[in-house]
Amino acid sequence: MNNESFFTLVGFSANGWGAILLSGVAVTLAAAVSGLVLGLLIGVFGAWAKISGGKTLRFLADAYTTLLRGVPDLLVIYLFYFGSSSILTAIAGYFGSKGFFALPGFIAGTIAIAVIAGALSTEVLRGAFQAVSKGELEAARAYGMGFFLRFRRIITPLTLRHALPGISNVWLGLLKESSLLSVTGVAELMRQAQVASGSTRLPFNFFLAAAALYIILASLSGVLVHLSERHYSRGTRRT
C-alpha cells in the first residue's frame, strides 16, 4: 500500500474521502451519545425497580435485563426497525391511510441501541448504588437532608464514582454497536467506509481508516473518563 495514495484517499483533497468519513464519525457520535443518554435514563428506572420496586417491578426489570443481554444486538435493531414500521403501517391503515410508514433508520436504530444500553446500565447503576456506604446515607438523613437534597448531594456523586468504569464500558460498546446501524441505511462511519471502498475498490484502505478513527474515538473517550473519575474521586484516599 502506497502511503501517499492512502493519505490522499482519506484526506480532504478533491479526490479524498476525508469529509465523508468525518460526516460518518459525526453520525456515529450522535447515535452513541443519544443511545447513552436514553440508556442511562432507562438504567436509572431499571436500577430503582430492582432495588426499591415491588415484586412485580423487580420481575419485569430482571426479565428486561436478562432478555436484552441474551439477544444479539443486531437482532434487536432489526426488531425495532422492522417492528416499528409494521406497527406504524397498521396504525395508519386503521385510520384509512395507505402505503408504508416507518421510523427513520437513525431514530429506530438509536432507540434500539439505547434499549440495549439500558439493560447494561441497569446492572451498572444497581451495583454502583449498592457499593455506596450505608453509613453515609444514614449520616445525611441524621443531618436532616430531604430526599431530593440527599439525592443531589450524596447519592448521585457517590453512585457515579462507582459507576463510571461500567458506564465507560457501556459507552465503548455503543461506539461499536453504532456500526450496526448501517443495516437500517444510516450513514455512520462504517457505512461511509463501505461506500468509499465500493467506489474505489480499495476496501483495505478505508476499513483501516475506519479502524483508526474508532481507536481515536475510544482513546479520547478514555481520557474524558479518566478526568471524570478524578473529579468524582476528589477527597478520597488513593491506594
Q: Residue 133, SS3?
A: coil
Question: What pLDDT was estimated at residue 209?
Answer: 93
DSSP state letter for 15: T
- In the predicted model, what is the mean pLDDT of residues 189-210? 91
Mutual angle of helices 18-52 and 203-232, in 10-degree steps:
40
CB 164 within 8 A of CB 175: no
Model confidence at 192: pLDDT above 80: yes
Could you give the domains of the chain?
18-229 (1.10.3720.10)
pLDDT of residue 237: 56
CA distance 152 to 155: 6
What nine digits make up the cell of 199?
467506489
Whole-angstrom distance, CA of residue 78 vs CA of residue 109: 8
User: CA-CA distance, 40 to 142, in Å (whole number)?
Assistant: 30
Please say if the pLDDT value at position 1 is more than 80: no
pTM: 0.87
Residue 146 pLDDT = 77
* pLDDT of res. 62: 94
pLDDT 10s digits, 90-138: 777 777 777 777 788 899 999 999 999 999 999 999 999 888 878 877 7
Which tens digits make up the pLDDT trace of 13-46?
877 888 999 999 999 999 999 999 999 999 999 9
Distance of CA 6 to the CA centre of its chain: 31
| Residue 224 scores a pLDDT above 80 | yes
Neighbours of 159 (CB within 10 A): 23
Across the chain, mean pLDDT equals 87
What is the C-alpha separation between 19 and 158, in angstroms, rounded? Answer: 41
